[in-house]
Amino acid sequence: MTMRYISTRDDSRNSAPKNFTEILLGGLAPDGGLYLPESYPRITRAELDQWRGLSYADLAFAVLSKFIDDIPADDLKGLVDKTYTAEVYCNGRAGSKASDITPVRWLEPGLGLLELSNGPTLAFKDMAMQLLGNLFEYVLAKRGEEINILGATSGDTGSAAEYAMRGKHGVRVFMLSPHEKMSAFQRAQMYSLQDDNIYNIAVRGMFDDAQDIVKAVSNDHAFKEKYKIGAVNSINWARVVAQVVYYFKGYFSATQSNAEQVDFAVPSGNFGNICAGHIARMMGLPIARLVMATNENDVLDEFFHTGVYRPRSTAETQATSSPSMDISKASNFERFVFDLVGRDPAVIRRLWTKIDSGGSFDLSSMPCFANLPQFGFVSGKSTHADRLRTISQTFEKYGVMVDTHTADGLKVAVEQLVPDRSMVVLETALPAKFEETIIEALGRRPERPASFQGIENLPQRVEVMDVSVDAVKRYIVQHVGA
């Protein structure tokens, strides 16, 4: 079997389909689209039966092998085994075993949390980002190349990227963050890293200023080429495919046999996490429904109810107590719409011409919209008040503390529960990351994993700068060398 990748905006008449390693280091396709496999591999019932008993690492190898055919099997196995270990993923909670990577914690029969946040930065992004770090190092070494990852973060993504790339050969990370805008915990998490290849830059401005600098540098094509600037943002295909694995793992934990179906509920922002669930379902994993939860920034909830996709302006985007879901547009959404419109790149080009020029589109009158139910999506939203109520009720009723994002997922999941089918809510972060809102909801501090005690007191390494594209470029040049 060969596996090739195409862009959502191109048909293979214009550019040849690519291999996995060819799209690994890049972001968008040259035509502005997102990469997807030419077709989704279908999993047979016999394979599902075999996969049921596998450890996380073995399951990851089985799933990823369906999507990657240009890394020798032994090498891929080595990379996966090195990534998915108890040392890396059982940071958050005491007493876990290797086999417990992403266990399901049952709140009551039929309602469980898939624990995805026991990795080094206490959020689910570690599940994929750690693999990305090892894949990058491997592919760069093979080619004798280097990459300088440039990014901007308001918290979670930057730390997940730094913990994944620290100490990796051939990789440097330049991460911009808004000076004095992140929580003390988040600052400590990033700035206390002492690795030579990690560069933290605090910009005297807001997150958007940092993001604009990254865009400006990336749009300087000569600079980008000369200094080998790359990114690890959420549209990266390898991140999406690595997330497919835990839907399989969660399904096996939640069921006795492969004849059963489950529902998954997913707190969503850029649509990367739930897009992986969609792909698992397209592969034939018996998922009945994908329950998508948004916070007050409900651009996706609106789409699933009306067929209208209307990205918001920055001014319309609210800063909420589930900040990692505060998005104005959902960058991975194009992948799902590609499937919904029958994989016609011409339709995607037409729709995203509107989006990219600041507009919106309405699919409700298109014939393909009638196909939406067959994809299993349902959606709902959750507000600050819902979040506080869910956090306190979950603590009272089950003695379990959930973070603000997971609370959004849980709130919508409970609305969508049906008898005789389990609902698995994806836990996207631990409460320790969002202390302030937990105190507001419960009047007490969340527990902190032992390895994070006193992290605020560690020495920090950060360069503070004005909002200046030139200053950031100079800094990169100085530390990369020409």
Catalytically active residues are 125
Told to check if 234 binds ligand PLP by CB under 6 A, we report: yes
Min separation Cβ 440 and ligand PLP, Å = 17
CB of 243 to ligand PLP, least distance (A): 8
Amino acid identity of 461?
A: R
Q: Which one of 173, 254, 325, 401 is in contact with ligand PLP (CB under 6 A)?
A: 325
In the bound state with ligand PLP, the residue whose beta carbon lies nearer, of 172 and 433, is 433
CA distance 420 to 200: 49
Q: Under the criterion CB under 6 A, does residue 265 sit at the interface with ligand PLP?
A: no
Query: How many CB atoms are closer than 10 A to CB 200?
Result: 22
* x/- letters, 283..322, toward ligand PLP (CB under 6 A): ----------------------------------------
Indicate which single residue of 133, 272, 277, 345 sits in contact with ligand PLP (rule: CB under 6 A): 272
CB of 203 vs ligand PLP, minimal distance in Å:
21
CB 187 within 8 A of CB 216: no
Instruction: Identify the three-state secondary structure at position 77.
Output: helix
> Whole-number minimum distance, CB 271 to ligand PLP, in Å?
5
Whole-number minimum distance, CB 109 to ligand PLP, in Å? 26
391 binds ligand PLP (CB under 6 A): no
The single residue among 84, 199, 271, 303 that binds ligand PLP, judged by CB under 6 A, is: 271
> CA nearest 317: which of 306, 308, 330?
330
Taken in order 435, 294, 42, 70, the sign of the CA dihedral is negative
CA dihedral 181, 186, 188, 191 (to 10 degrees): -70
Radius of gyration of the chain (CA): 21
- Give 102's Cβ-side CA count (13 Å radius): 32
Contacts with ligand PLP in 77-116 (CB under 6 A)? none
Cβ-contact 4, 18 below 8 angstroms? yes
Is residue 159 a contact point for ligand PLP (CB under 6 A)? no
**Does 270 contact ligand PLP by CB under 6 A?**
yes
Residue 450: other Cβ atoms inside 10 A: 9
What number of chain residues touch ligand PLP (CB under 6 A)? Answer: 16
Scan for tokens 């600079």, then name that residue.
223
Neighbours of 181 (CB within 10 A): 16
Which C-beta is closer to ligand PLP: that of 148 or that of 270?
Answer: 270
| CA–CA dist 429, 269 (Å, integer) | 13
Q: Could you give the string, one character per residue 121-150, with x where binding to ligand PLP holds by CB under 6 A and - elsewhere?
A: --x-x-------------------------
Interface positions with ligand PLP (CB under 6 A): 123, 125, 156, 234, 267-273, 324-325, 405, 428-429
